[in-house]
Amino acid sequence: MSGTLSAVPNFSSEIRIIVGAAIIADGRVLACERSEPAEVAGRWEFPGGKVEPGETEHDALVRECEEELGVVVEVGERVGQDVLLGHGRAVLKVYTARLVSGVPQLIEHAEFRWLAAHELHTVPWLPADAPIVAALPKFMGDGA
């Protein structure tokens, strides 16, 4: 064996993009309760997930909402700023969205609720969603 080492690509340096949908209807936003994994079960989040290679953030959000809730959404504007996750290995980007078709179903979550602005703090959000929750009321209209 020679004294040289072949280079191994460092895939861990790639930052994953995670997208979330703040689905707003009639001045309320859809909040979803995680059922797994165990360490986050019972915490609340915005539906969404990882952007796959070759996907735009908007395409990923439409796909994730269909997979998780059985609905089709139209993606709107960004809510808040990027939120770093996993010691900087991922970034969460949340967008407003509106329902185009379908009624939300419990496919991947334990429960969901439509929350008015004054109700946003009535559920235990995942810590990463806290800055998004704080920025959200101005996007929710007069349904508070």
The pLDDT tens digits of the residues spanning 14-57 come to 889 999 999 999 999 999 999 888 888 899 999 999 999 999 99
- pLDDT tier, 93 (very low <50, low <70, confident <90, very high otherwise): very high
| In-domain check, residue 116 | yes
Contact call for residues 25 and 65 (beta carbons, < 8 A): no
Please check the confidence at residue 6 and state whether its pLDDT lies above 50.
Answer: no
| In-domain check, residue 84 | yes
| In-domain check, residue 7 | no
Number of domains in the chain: 1
| In-domain check, residue 104 | yes
Phi (first) and psi of residue 134, to 5 degrees: -65, -35
| In-domain check, residue 38 | yes
How many DSSP H helices and E strands does the chain contain?
2, 7
Please check the confidence at residue 2 and state whether its pLDDT lies above 70.
Answer: no
Please check the confidence at residue 5 and state whether its pLDDT lies above 90.
Answer: no
| In-domain check, residue 121 | yes
CATH number assigned to the domain comprising residue 34: 3.90.79.10
Residue % of the chain over a pLDDT of 90? 78
User: What type of residue sits at position 19?
Assistant: V
pLDDT at 84: 92
Q: Which domain holds residue 80?
A: 15-138
Contact call for residues 100 and 72 (beta carbons, < 8 A): yes
Beta strands in 1-144 (DSSP E): 16-25, 28-34, 44-45, 48-50, 72-85, 90-101, 109-115
Query: What pTM does this model have?
Result: 0.86
Mode of pairing for the β-strands spanning 48-50 and 16-25: antiparallel
The pLDDT tens digits of the residues spanning 53-92 come to 999 999 999 999 999 999 999 999 999 999 998 878 999 9
pLDDT at 40: 86
- pLDDT tier, 13 (very low <50, low <70, confident <90, very high otherwise): low
| In-domain check, residue 98 | yes
| In-domain check, residue 10 | no
- The residue with tokens 């329902």 is 99
